[in-house]
Chain A
Amino acid sequence: MIRSLRIGLARGGIELKQTLTTPTDLWAYFFPALLLLGTVFFMRNAHVPGTTFSLGASTLPGVLGMGLALGGLMTVSQQLVVEREDGTLLRAKATPNGMTSYVVGKAVVVGGMTILSMLLQLIPGVFVVHGLHVSVAGWLTLAWLIPLAFLATMPIGAVIGSLFDSPRNMALAVLPIFGLVAISGIFYPITAMPGWLQGVAQAFPMYWLGLGMRSVFLPDSLASVELTHSWRHFETFGVLAIWVVLGMALAPAILRRMARRESGSAVAARRERAMATMGR
């Protein structure tokens, strides 16, 4: 077990290094960062309603929280679907203890990619907008929020990935996730949503990760524009912890079920289907 963990860490490290030396991948990290920086740049002189605080500055942390959620949910599920189709997973299955190391490696590489993307947005961001500040308490919050974010979202991402047989019908998963972004107070205040939508948003990690990141980077006075006028760390921890438990309960069994179905002929069939779709 320790060994599989170590091999998985090594695997994640190698893949992280690979993605950082692949130009198309780098573009995929820089492009959203540029888009975001452009957006907050144009919002920098607007104010959060009822305050004198920059709207751009108040949006940025929420977007970082969204990035954490998307990394865990979407990157994990997409990679799983793609690597099931291309046979990476079958190779893992054909290797002793390969699945464990594969999963560990995936967590490492997606975690690394997500944090990297976050830094690419945050570091230039603090020069574009003003008012972001991290206190000692903020660092402590980050220390539990980020690991909890990954634990709460990656297993769910793995479950989503297991349910789709082809990257081409992943849109079915992407749409609801973007719906969640829209109602989670990332770009548009949740307080302006109808009550039932607020309820829906608060059932999912997206909202709480946005809130948690705002609590880290924004002055405490801005908690006044949030629901219940507080940062609600206790609730944040609680909801994310429930998702951790849920994900950890579901993911291993569903991943195992998915892996059980992998075989050379299953991969060959998928490859043929993919070729047919691409040829059209």
Chain B
Amino acid sequence: MTLTGALDAGTELPADERVIDVRDLRMRYGTRDVLDGVSFAARRGEVLALLGPNGAGKTTTIEILEGFRMRSAGAVSVLGVDPAGAGERWRARIGVVLQSWRDHGKWRVRELLKHLGTYYAPYSTAAIRRPWPVDDLLEVVGLIEQAGQRAMRLSGGQRRRLDVAIGIVGRPELLFLDEPTVGFDPAARREFHDLVHRLTDVDETTILLTTHDLDEAEKLADRIVILAQGRIIADGSADALSRQVAGETEIRWTRGGQRFVHSAVEATPFVRQLFLQYGDDIGDLEVRRNSLEDTYMKLVLESEGGLR
């Protein structure tokens, strides 16, 4: 299955609306292409999820966009600038949520955010006041009570919220999150999703996040780009992706003690036909439209099968 129609969706955006514009990106390690012909775009204010299984190339892609890795080939523009040679002014306009370990452990939460904010002050504009006032920021990420605590005394979830606060203290126009909820329990994940929703409510920040969890991508993203084996295999809103695969509906039934499975584009006429033909002999009827999850799994498997 290919979803080539969807692949063009990203590039239909007018150039000046593209906060991220990636064309034919290639990353090669030795003789192996880890990314091959990757193209996608993100619109201002959009939450874009880069979805894919482990080893798909998500981290590689996001680090190229962050300006932390040099690409092998292709054109990349982030906020109108090539990250490979971007300066500090560009750096001030983007935010990166890093997965911390124990850095700045002795710093108190407020002290750290206030200090990191000072780096952004020279890049304040009439439209975007930088940095984010510390008290507002603490409120947004829900760390008001921990403001005076040392970072090393925070719980895991609080520490991740501090990581987010650090990522957005400069009021970024574009925020990067690489697998932000990996290792979270369901409650912490829910809380984190709420935080991301809150962020997109208060500011028109464009967000690019990576995840290997379809459910997370569906919950957070306006648009999903599926990456597998270094290639983009689908690109569109969760709805659009579902609709494109809705062509596949699975119908299961039994007749005379035997099980049957059939895939049909239009389930209704098929089932009507089935009953006209066999009537009461039909039992255990199941009609199941392919979920996006089925599609994702199928796409991933196909891309693995197709390349190996």
Which A residues form the contact surface with B (CB < 8 A)? Answer: 3, 7, 10-11, 14-15, 18-19, 22, 83, 86-88, 90-91, 93-98, 101, 262-265, 267-268, 271
B106 contacts across to A, CB distance below 8 A: 15, 18-19, 22
Q: How far is the CB of A3 from chain B (nearest CB, A)?
A: 6
B118, A7: Cβ atoms closer than 8 Å: yes
Contact for B68 among A83, A87, A263, CB less than 8 A: A263
B79-112 CB contacts (< 8 Å) to partner A: 88-89, 91-92, 96, 98-107, 111
A98, B119: Cβ atoms closer than 8 Å: yes
Cα–Cα distance between A93 and B116 once the two chains are bound (Å): 12
Contacts A7-B118, A14-B111; is A96 near B170 (CB within 8 Å)?
yes
Q: Could you name 24 residue pairs across A and B whose Cβ atoms are closer than 8 Å?
A: A7-B118, A10-B115, A10-B118, A18-B107, A22-B106, A88-B103, A90-B98, A91-B98, A91-B103, A91-B104, A93-B68, A94-B66, A95-B119, A96-B88, A97-B88, A97-B119, A264-B59, A264-B66, A264-B96, A264-B98, A264-B99, A264-B178, A265-B63, A267-B99
A86 contacts across to B, CB distance below 8 A: 101-103, 105
Cα–Cα distance between A87 and B166 once the two chains are bound (Å): 13
Q: Is B132 an interface residue (CB 8 A)?
A: no
Cα–Cα distance between A103 and B158 once the two chains are bound (Å): 28
Cα–Cα distance between A242 and B170 once the two chains are bound (Å): 41
A11, B115: Cβ atoms closer than 8 Å: yes
Q: Is B256 an interface residue (CB 8 A)?
A: no
Contacts A96-B88, A271-B101; is A3 near B122 (CB within 8 Å)?
yes
Interface residue range, chain B: 20 to 34
Q: What 1/0 mask marks residues of chain B from 155 to 191 whose CB sits below 8 Å from any chain A CB?
A: 0000000000010001000000010000000000000
Residue on A with the closest CB to B104?
A88
Residue on B with the closest CB to A271?
B101
A265, B59: Cβ atoms closer than 8 Å: yes
B101, A94: Cβ atoms closer than 8 Å: no
B178, A96: Cβ atoms closer than 8 Å: no
Which B residues form the contact surface with A (CB < 8 A)? Answer: 59, 63, 66, 68-69, 88-89, 91-92, 96, 98-107, 111, 115-116, 118-120, 122-123, 166, 170, 178
A87, B96: Cβ atoms closer than 8 Å: no
B96, A94: Cβ atoms closer than 8 Å: yes
Contact for A263 among B63, B91, B105, CB less than 8 A: B63
- Other A-B pairs beyond A10-B118, A265-B63, 9, CB < 8 Å: A14-B111, A86-B105, A91-B104, A91-B166, A94-B96, A95-B91, A98-B119, A263-B63, A271-B101
Contact for B115 among A3, A14, A22, A97, CB less than 8 A: A14
B118 contacts across to A, CB distance below 8 A: 7, 10
Contacts A15-B106, A91-B166, A94-B98; is A262 near B120 (CB within 8 Å)?
no
B105 contacts across to A, CB distance below 8 A: 86
Contacts A96-B92, A96-B120; is A87 near B107 (CB within 8 Å)?
no
A101, B119: Cβ atoms closer than 8 Å: yes
A87, B59: Cβ atoms closer than 8 Å: no
Residue on A with the closest CB to B90?
A96
A263 contacts across to B, CB distance below 8 A: 63, 66, 68-69
B100, A87: Cβ atoms closer than 8 Å: yes
The 9 closest A-B CB pairs, nearest first, are A263-B68, A96-B92, A88-B103, A18-B106, A96-B88, A86-B103, A87-B103, A96-B91, A94-B96
B59 contacts across to A, CB distance below 8 A: 264-265
A96, B89: Cβ atoms closer than 8 Å: yes
A19 contacts across to B, CB distance below 8 A: 106
Residue on A with the closest CB to B123?
A96
A87 contacts across to B, CB distance below 8 A: 98, 100-101, 103
A264, B103: Cβ atoms closer than 8 Å: no
Max chain A C-beta neighbours (<10 A), residue from B91, B98, B123: B98
Cα–Cα distance between A96 and B117 once the two chains are bound (Å): 10
Residue on B with the closest CB to A88?
B103
Residue on B with the closest CB to A270?
B101
A95 contacts across to B, CB distance below 8 A: 91, 116, 119, 170
Residue on B with the closest CB to A275?
B101
Q: How far is the CB of A211 from chain B (nearest CB, A)?
A: 36
